[in-house]
Structure 1
Amino acid sequence: MFDLSSELQFQTSRSSGPGGQNVNKVESKVEVRLNIPASQILNEEQKQKIQQRLKSQLTTEGDLVVTSQESRSQMKNKELAVKKLYAVLTKAFEEPRVRKATKPTKASTLERLQTKRVASERKASRSRKNWED
């Protein structure tokens, strides 16, 4: 792919969850930010794809933020966060496969019609009939 390490901003904080003294003392959670509009490495086409496909994951400034707190080690979390960021970017650049339109099979059509017929008969049987003898 490409090397974005010069444009990544790292921020650490205390991790959440169980862990006792380690969680309370050590800032092992890592947050990685990549400012998409200000990036010198990404071209305009790539920036557009990211902004369209990852719209919900971007901040108002256009930063892509990924966090990791799986490990007790800050370095391990840093590596994991960078891997996650690259995975998100790789997925954003992939072209979605175009779905081929297909006809419903005979079996599925017959099954649908049979289900409709049964439902119709069930509802018809609920109607009030003239019970006069």
Structure 2
Amino acid sequence: MIFITNSIEINDNDLDLDFIRSPGPGGQKVNKAATAVQLRFDVENATALPDLVRQRLLRLAKNRITAQGILIIEAHRFRSQHRNRQDALDRFVALVRKATEKPRLRRKTNPPPLSKQRRLEKKRRRSQLKRMRRTPAAQDL
């Protein structure tokens, strides 16, 4: 069991871990050791996730989710399989925890009058500077 929050726990059977060859430069064992980890989780059919969390997770990780609704996390930061496996699980837990957080509602605000005044004054100064750079013939027109 992987504990995400007090109310959400994901069964190990819901996660599919595949070990693949790590990309990038290697050494003597570059074509032998499959140290990179590819974690797959079916978000669409996950019974452990509430609907709101599932929707937020789909929105948060939209670039890592396939058309079938499967979340894919690849970990190949470390040279050992064990550390890459733990890294993938940690990133997965962090992503789901982030999806459990309720987004804060944005309150619409207006800029203060002084900042509006400063912005317009800055624009006037910039306009004056560009006007002064023109050739005298262009100013007469």
TM-score bin, normalised by smaller chain? 0.7 to 0.9
Q: Is contact 1:10-1:32 (8 Å) kept?
A: yes
- Are residues 66 and 91 of structure 1, via their aligned partners in 2, closer, same or farther at CA, if it must alter by over 3 Å? same
Aligned residues: 130
- Match of 1:33, SS state, is strand
- Match of 2:10, SS state, is coil
Post-superposition shift, 1:28? 0.1
Matches within 5 A, 1:34-113: 34-113=41-120
In 1, the alpha carbon distance for the partners of 2:49 and 2:99 equals: 13
Post-superposition shift, 1:19? 3.0
- Are residues 59 and 21 of structure 1, via their aligned partners in 2, closer, same or farther at CA, if it must alter by over 3 Å? same
Q: Report the equivalent of 2:122.
A: 115
Post-superposition shift, 1:47? 2.3
CA shift digits 1:4-38 (9 cap, x unpaired): 32200011111112330133220000000001122
In 2, the alpha carbon distance for the partners of 1:95 and 1:56 equals: 21
- Match of 2:140, SS state, is coil
Deviates more, 1:119-128 or 1:53-62: 119-128
In 2, the alpha carbon distance for the partners of 1:47 and 1:99 equals: 22
- Identify unmatched segments of 5+ residues in structure 2: none
Q: Report the equivalent of 1:11.
A: 18
Structure 2-normalised TM-score?
Answer: 0.78
Tell me whether 1:128 sits opposite 2:120 in the alignment.
Answer: no
Q: Is contact 2:57-2:95 (8 Å) kept?
A: no
RMSD of equivalent CA atoms: 2.1
- Identify unmatched segments of 5+ residues in structure 1: none
Structure 1-normalised TM-score?
Answer: 0.82
Identity over the aligned pairs, expressed in percent?
A: 32
- Match of 2:79, SS state, is coil
Post-superposition shift, 1:89? 1.3
